[in-house]
Structure 1
Amino acid sequence: MVSPPPRLARLAEVHDLPIGTACTAHAAIRQLRHGLDRNGEGYYDLVVGDASARIPAKIWGDSRAYGELARSGLETGAVVKLMFSVGEYRDAIQLTVSRIRGVVEGDEWSSEAIWGRGWELIQDLRCKTLVFDIETVPGVVLDAEDTPESVRKAVARAAERSAGELDALEAQTKAMSLSPYFGKIVSLAVGEGELDEDEDEDDDGDEGEGREGAVTALVVPPPGREDEEYPPWIRPMSEADLLRCFWHLADAAELVVSYNGRGFDVPFLQARSLIHGVPARVDLLSSPYSLRPHLDLFRLLSPGRGGTASTSLDVICWSLGITSPKGEMDGSLVAPTYARGEIETIAEYNVGDVRATARVYRHLREHLLPFRNDW
């Protein structure tokens, strides 16, 4: 009797196996594409992954897996059981899948093993095109006894550089809020960028409660408000969980969209993740002028080396005839608003920026991106 192939507990273990080794494993389908070879035979290119690794895979048209996948209706995001052999393509590991099916009762797998810690907090928010924005506040108490003098001096120098017309306290607050080492994230708004305009509009003014694709704010409640109830579009959590949620959503998305995300949001998220020991699962900073997997609309719309003032989000919205997110609230008011405990106000402001960014993305999706060779 032939023994079944061994089951891998972690997909990353394939990197330690000899080419040709047969195995089984549970994984999620992260990418899936059907194609035809030069003879007209079908095949599937896919990327499968769990919390430990993402690995390219191939399903050839003459394999049992090809028919199984075609009949199953499995799509990107589905958790599956695979039988495969370890192969190689262009000096990189590639799995050749011989059998595939969706998970069934009795299979030994867990959501945490497939997606990682924190996925359960936002699994219903998964987006094809993830549009996001963050809001930050000071995170260091400078007069605390355990704050080194070198840190106080560093903040003072940063505040002096950014002072302008601000008073000393305002300059210090701004400097700390803009640094991931002196600041922290208190709100992360996320939403689906592929909605039509009428789907994006919210007729009852309730930030899209209960609607598919609604913008959601993940927030870190101010001290004393951790145990309060919030509306469904606001999800309270720790900063570490907020970071885990962001990387999960970015990892699951086909495209990530931001406005100046390469210049501020992603470096801030990445540094805060390092501080909290949270894996930064997706590379959103390499190839700075690439449109995928991270489309930074600011980079796309900035005129050459011009300054940021001429291409701020509210200016772009005004120019394109899109409703601007800017009202009485602006970035300089986030820290004092958080100090007053008004996290809902910050979340509304954050959500407004994501709605506006999504509308700009859709405008470019129709009138610019299809005509670029790199899209």
Structure 2
Amino acid sequence: MNFNNILFLDIETVAQYEDYTQLPDGWRELWDHKAKSLIRNPDDNAASIYDRAGIYAEFGKIICVSVGCIQGDGEDRKLVLTSYFEHDEKVLLQQVAEMLKKWSGNPDKLLCAHNGKEFDYPYLCRRMIINGIEIPEALRIAGRKPWEVRHLDTLEMWKFGDYKSYTSLKLLAQCLGIPSPKDDIDGSQVYGVYYKENNLKRISEYCEKDVKTLAQVLLRFHCQPLIKEENISVKFKPPVPIKGEQSQPTLL
């Protein structure tokens, strides 16, 4: 496997509104209906579990996409991380779509995510469609034969054909002797960090740690040496130009 042809990816999502009471009437009715199938605790209701709405592309939005690329080979490999984060989801997804178009110039390029086939890839596609953005070639699966789909999924690899259980990236990293990706916040806290602290930078750093761990996990799957911590960096770039729109400077 040519690890230099892989774009490692992770997304962070939240509910579209800060509070259940802010949902427009039509959306509130739809969430009430959806929540009926999610409630397990008799003390819960549609309002009390609204922070879980971010899991579902119809009720959530993407606030951060972090990616990483491996450069070099063997002991000298480097990993460069980049994050896209915006309050305006459409601007964010336009930037990500432009980046993917430029990156996936040939069919040898692959995407890699943990549970990506069940979450990251379809969530990105659904939110792009909702925002009126053309799905880039790297994310397309319609009409493709299985071997033509350019998606890797470390959860699927770890299952080895077993479809009974879910293994988190954190647990997988622990099993493989890789430092834990979570030392600040976890997924359940992203909603609060976004709406209460308004701290997108903190969320992006959390997302980048997942991408770093994801790359290390794939290397371990192939019995390759891990990338040294001093060879891992975050790259700051100017904003990706969006035709017809002026976006604010961000970490890209």
If the length of structure 2 is used for normalisation, what is the TM-score?
A: 0.72
Question: What is the CA–CA distance in structure 1 between the aligned matches of 2:56 and 2:159, rounded to whole Å?
Answer: 23
Query: How many Å separate the matches in 2 of 1:160 and 1:173?
Result: 15
Higher strand share: 1
Query: Given residue 159 of structure 1, which amino acid in structure 2 is its aligned partner?
Result: A
CA RMSD of aligned residues (A): 2.7
Equivalent in 75, 78, 90 of residue 240 of structure 1:
90
Kindly indicate whether residue 220 of structure 2 is the aligned counterpart of residue 344 of structure 1: no
For residues 321-336 of structure 1, the aligned pairs below 5 Å read 321-336=177-192
Task: For 1:292 and 1:148, locate their aligned partners in 2 and report how far apart those are by CA, in whole Å.
Answer: 39
> Which residue type is aligned with residue 180 of structure 2?
S
Indicate the residue corresponding to 1:260 in structure 2: 115
Match for residue 154 of structure 1?
Answer: 30
SS in 2 for 1:156: helix
Matched, 1:299 2:177: no
Closer, same or farther in 2 for the Cα pair 1:289/1:357, shift >3 Å? farther
Q: Which has the higher contact order (CA 8 A, sep 6+)?
A: 2
How many positions carry a matched residue from both structures?
A: 208
- Matches of 1:186 and 1:346, distance apart in 2: 9
Q: Distance in 2 between matches of 1:294 and 1:312?
A: 18
Distance across 1 between alignment mates of 2:77 and 2:148: 25
Contact kept, 8 Å, 1:136 with 1:183, in 2: the verdict is: yes
Following the alignment from structure 2 to structure 1, what is the Cα–Cα distance between the partners of residues 176 and 206?
20
Q: Taking every aligned residue pair, what percent have the same amino acid on both sides? A: 27
TM-score (norm 1): 0.50
Quote the offset at 1:148 in angstroms: 3.5
Contact persistence 1:173–1:335 (CA under 8 A): yes
Q: State which structure, 1 or 2, has the greater radius of gyration over its C-alpha atoms.
A: 1
Gap change, CA 1:346 and 1:156, over 3 Å in 2: same
Alignment deviations for residues 39-71 of structure 1 (CA, whole Å, 9 cap, x no partner): xxxxxxxxxxxxxxxxxxxxxxxxxxxxxxxxx
- Per-residue deviation, residues 248-300 of structure 1 (Å, max 9, x unmatched): 33342311111111101111111111111111022444569648511111111
Deviation at 1:346, TM superposition (A): 0.8
Work out the CA distance in 2 between the residues paired with 1:279 and 1:268: 14
Pair 1:298–1:351, CA change in 2 (3 A): same
Unaligned runs of 5+ in 1: 1-126, 201-212, 222-237, 368-375
Work out which of the residue numbers 50, 54, 59 in structure 2 matches 1:172: 50
Please give the secondary structure, in 2, of the residue aligned with 1:341: coil
More helix by share: 2
**Separation in 2 of the partners of 1:144 and 1:315?**
36
Distance in 2 (alpha carbons) for counterparts of 1:333 and 1:182: 18
* Counterpart position of 2:84: 218
Task: Name the amino acid aligned to 1:162.
Answer: L
Deviations 1:9-57 (A, max 9, x none): xxxxxxxxxxxxxxxxxxxxxxxxxxxxxxxxxxxxxxxxxxxxxxxxx
1:11 maps to none
Q: CA deviation at 1:142?
A: 4.8
* Matched position secondary structure for 1:214: strand
Cα distance change on mapping 1:162 and 1:288 into 2, 3 Å: farther
Structure 2: segments with no counterpart, 5+ residues:
225-252
